[in-house]
Amino acid sequence: MKFSLNWIREFVDINVPVDELAERLTLSGLEVEGVETLGASLSGIVVGRIESIEKHPDADKLVVCQVTDGKTRHQIVTGAQNIKEGDVVPVSLPGAVLANGMEIKASELRGVPSNGMLCSETELGVSDEAAGIWILPQDTPLGVDFVEYARLRDAVLDIGILPNRGDCQSVLGIARDISAIYELDLKEVEILDSRSGSGMTAGGSGMTASEKSITCRNEAPDLCAMYTARTISNVWQFATPLWMQRRLQVSGVRPISFIVDVTNYVLLELGQPLHAFDASKVKGAIVVRSAEDGEALVTLDEQERKLVAGQCVIADDAGAVALAGVMGGARTEINDHTTDVVLEAAWFDPVATRATATAHVLRTDSAVRFEKGLDIAGVERASNRVAHLIKSLAGAEVGDICQASGHTKDSDASSFDGKIDVDLNALNRLIGVQYTADQAWGTLRRLGYGVAVGVDSRSGSGMTAGSGITVVGSVTAAGSEIVDHSSEMFACVTVPTWRRHDVLGWQEVAEDIMRVVGMDSIASCLPRESVVQVSKSDDERVLSQLHSFFIANGFSQVINFSMVGQEDAVKCDWKTTDSRTISNPLTPAESVMRERILPSLLRVVGHDASRQVNRGAIFEFGSVFPSDGVQDTHLAGVVYGDWFESSYRPEDKLAGADVLRLKGIVCAALEALGVIQIRVDKRCDDGDLHPGQAGTIASLKHALGRFGKVHPARLKAYGISVPVSYFEINVSSVLKSVRPQPKYKAFGVLPHTRRDIAIVVPKDLAYSSIESVLYKKKPKLCKRLFLFDRFESVEHLGADKLSLAFAFVYQDDETTLTDEVVNLAHTEFVAAITAALPIEIR
């Protein structure tokens, strides 16, 4: 929000350099996002009247004006089109300086002397564009220093207002904080003393007092805690004074007409939204009520709004005239012919106003202010301020105020009387400082708090030290210390009405003191209490190791969004459910939570392929959201293109082996973590993978994941033309499968004996099922077995068979084995596996 420094200075005598002020405000919670200095260079501009205009003898487009400043006549040549004799205009005489720093000199234009220049708004720094010379109101005094008169010299502070500081959405609010920061007095604004008239009323109904007065009634006390209305009459087409227009402009508000300008002025000044109805169009009494379902209202923006019950409206005998706190109605809109207005100042419920504004997509400035919570005690003052300005500027007649109150329903605020007990010792402990009583209580007082030192909210008075009869005190958080409520370090503070929606506890009071005193003065320190470790740091270590393993094996890490497109769900053939679908996605491509990481990785591969990167290995750790289960963390990776075969040496190019190479890496990664008894099975029944090159990975007790070649149909769906191998494992299952800690077991030192066999097996018999039989049948003496050769030959074995050669290592811990013993065990072993499997020994 933009604030004129001149305007602020009407409330507080602040004279520090503007940059210093900006810095200080920023550090006290009013973040100054920009400072614009206006008219800093302007000088020598006076008000003059054009007495005559004559044609230039030698130039069609120029005219020669005689201009008086009340004392002296000046001849000025100009090319302006929009002037006529009698116009009052700003004039820059020789020696004057314009907003852009240009100095005016006496000159000749096509042979005619010109002693100055008539000015446009642009030249005076008021606006970026101007249609012509700035024509001033006729009553502008001639000869005055126009820069001073129109307040052209100013600094505009652009301040970001925090959501809890509705009170700072006004010049008064900013000035109040400045008064606290710099320890200056805050001045009051001039208002009409409404109490001097008659007809004050309160409660659910109003009453008329003077002839041109208005009656109002509050039938929605829950939605409107305070409603006031008054008539202001005989406001003939009065022109808004320049200074007021100027202030509106620098605050970013366009001047429109006198009444609107004054209400906007008071809105900016005091923060209270106001609305003016054309009094001649209001039928009968004003009623604040809840809308009826289906009731219609055409708002000022010419939109017909269908209302529902619970939305607060202002109505007259003929129906709704305004959407309370949000926007006025078209029927009672003021225009150029309006002479009498009904001025509304009210306090509408923040939550209800917000709901109404949201329902009608009308987040007006007024609605936003009501949402943030306004000062209920400032309602009447704002009305009186408007009345004062209109009366003093335009001589209008001001009617008595009619008031109809309700009650606030804010749960916190309703039970809150604004009184908070503050133990300054506890406050100092929370912040880690040593504020003195004077410093703390003084700051609060300047912010508008009432401070009763040595008193608490229950008793109204504290114990006098040493009286020994009643102990008024409380036990602190530490549980040991009695707080003396009669000490100067204890006070019952009364939160100012404009902060009661926000300041509800002593911590907020602490914040107010701290921000005004400044956070710089707090001496920082590291946490004092001893360190506690609460997490499963083992998991972290394991994950970090897994990460490093893949990096070391040449894989690069990617990080994708957790959501993919509905399209991806279709491509990857999974059903989306409501619990996994975003109801308000930004784009369809990011609208469902991924069930697995695969589609994210395929998107990356597709992206890379489109940028001529045709081989690589990537992995991702990330969340997945199975439609029927809890969200989990997976690790997935792909190798694409001929990454595995990418070598310049023919002997390293083992095309077609990549799925097993990937399996080797994944199993080594798991083994490195201490996952024991990794088991890989051949089957994997899903459409993501090549049916003949896919497998599942498991530990002894947990399914871990799957791997394989990605199905060509999937690759096609993602526009990928290179082969892709893939794995995806469930990280929590991996963590559960990690062996807690290796334990040493003595190993045999006696000589071992090796026996090899080659078996012929059907090609469709999975290796894993052969291996599991071998492990099951192997005699105790066989310590180790491994595959050392695999051989296919149509000529020797037939098309549907292959040969596997295994080595068995026999060893005993106690004695050196004799051939007889080994032979016996081996023969039995071979017989057992031959019986258990459809195989032949070669």
Q: Could you tell me if 493 and 503 are in contact, meaning their C-beta atoms sit under 8 angstroms apart? A: no
Give residue for tokens 């799925």: 659
Q: Could you tell me if 339 and 235 are in contact, meaning their C-beta atoms sit under 8 angstroms apart? A: yes
Smaller CB separation from another protein, 34 or 838: 34
The span from the CA of 18 to the CA of 37, in Å, is: 9
Smaller CB separation from another protein, 11 or 625: 625
> What sections of 170-272 are H helices per DSSP?
171-181, 242-250, 258-270
Smaller CB separation from another protein, 580 or 709: 580
Shortest Cβ 376–another protein spacing (Å): 18
Shortest Cβ 555–another protein spacing (Å): 4
Smaller CB separation from another protein, 168 or 804: 168
Shortest Cβ 523–another protein spacing (Å): 6
Q: Could you tell me if 589 and 567 are in contact, meaning their C-beta atoms sit under 8 angstroms apart? A: yes
Partners of residue 355 on adjacent β-strands: none
Smaller CB separation from another protein, 189 or 351: 351
Shortest Cβ 713–another protein spacing (Å): 24
Shortest Cβ 514–another protein spacing (Å): 6
The span from the CA of 796 to the CA of 798, in Å, is: 6
Q: Quick one: residue 206, left, alpha or beta (phi over 0 = left, psi -120 to 50 = alpha)?
A: beta
Q: Quick one: residue 386, left, alpha or beta (phi over 0 = left, psi -120 to 50 = alpha)?
A: alpha
Shortest Cβ 531–another protein spacing (Å): 3
The span from the CA of 31 to the CA of 157, in Å, is: 10
The span from the CA of 349 to the CA of 405, in Å, is: 12
Smaller CB separation from another protein, 531 or 794: 531
Shortest Cβ 266–another protein spacing (Å): 23
Smaller CB separation from another protein, 199 or 626: 626
Smaller CB separation from another protein, 205 or 425: 425
The span from the CA of 275 to the CA of 332, in Å, is: 11
Q: Could you tell me if 371 and 263 are in contact, meaning their C-beta atoms sit under 8 angstroms apart? A: no
The span from the CA of 365 to the CA of 386, in Å, is: 19
Smaller CB separation from another protein, 163 or 742: 163
The CA R_g of the chain, rounded to the nearest whole Å, is 42
Shortest Cβ 378–another protein spacing (Å): 20
The span from the CA of 174 to the CA of 271, in Å, is: 11
Smaller CB separation from another protein, 391 or 409: 409
The span from the CA of 127 to the CA of 666, in Å, is: 68
Shortest Cβ 537–another protein spacing (Å): 6
Shortest Cβ 352–another protein spacing (Å): 9
Smaller CB separation from another protein, 590 or 812: 590
Shortest Cβ 476–another protein spacing (Å): 8
Measured in residues, the chain has a length of: 842
Shortest Cβ 327–another protein spacing (Å): 19
CA torsion sign, 23 to 27 to 32 to 33? positive
Query: In sequence order, which residues have a C-beta less than 8 Å from that of residue 405 and are 6 or more positions away?
Result: 202, 203, 204, 218, 221, 225, 226, 227
Smaller CB separation from another protein, 573 or 652: 652
Smaller CB separation from another protein, 150 or 493: 493
Shortest Cβ 579–another protein spacing (Å): 4
Nearest alpha-carbon partner for 113 in 60, 150, 145, 75: 75
Query: In sequence order, which residues have a C-beta less than 8 Å from that of residue 154 and are 6 or more positions away?
Result: 4, 5, 6, 37, 38, 39, 250
Residue 650: DSSP 8-state? G
The number of beta carbons lying within 10 Å of the beta carbon of residue 722 is: 15
Q: Exposed, middle or buried: residue 740 (CB in 10 Å: 0-12, 13-18, 19+)? A: exposed
Smaller CB separation from another protein, 179 or 245: 179
The span from the CA of 618 to the CA of 605, in Å, is: 9
Shortest Cβ 605–another protein spacing (Å): 10
User: Could you give the dihedral angle defined by the CA atoms of residues 338, 342, 347 and 351, in that order, rounded to the nearest 10 degrees?
Assistant: -50
